[in-house]
Amino acid sequence: MLKHNSYFDGKVQSLGFERNGRKQTAGVIIPGEYHFSTDAPERMTVVSGELSARFTPTGAWVTYPAGSSFEVAGKSAFDVKAGAPTAYLCEFL
């Protein structure tokens, strides 16, 4: 079944599902900056809009437009920011 997740007072929400034993979420981020921690490694793909991400607390922000993706190591953390509502797909690797 689908699992509705809500983070950061509802500013980031996602729908979790599983296909062929692989977990994924389809989500939306409204404008703001957010700090995420990972358990499993994951691939984030921007589906609509644009995200910026950095992978160390003082690292450079990298911009990911719709259609692009980035991967994040397990047991790590990253920052994401959105200037407008942005939809993403997160695949747990």
Nearest to 43 by CA among 19, 22, 15: 22
As given in the structure block, the two tokens for residue 38 are: 């990972």
Is the CB of 59 or the CB of 83 nearer to a copy of itself? 83
For a copy of itself, which residue of 38, 69, 79, 87 counts as binding (CB under 8 A)? Answer: 87
Longest dimension (CA), the chain: 39
Q: Judged by CB, which is closer to a copy of itself: 5, or 56?
A: 5
CB 92 within 8 A of CB 75: no
Nearer to a copy of itself, 76 or 91 (CB): 91
On the CB side of 2, CA atoms within 13 Å amount to 8
Beta carbons of 78 and 24 less than 8 angstroms apart: no
- Scanning 33-41, 46-54, 56-64, 68-76 for contacts with a copy of itself by CB under 8 A, the matching segment is 46-54
Count the site residues for a copy of itself by CB under 8 A.
29
Q: How far is the CB of 5 from a copy of itself (least distance, A)?
A: 10
Q: Which of residues 47-86 bind a copy of itself (CB under 8 A)?
A: 47-49, 84-86
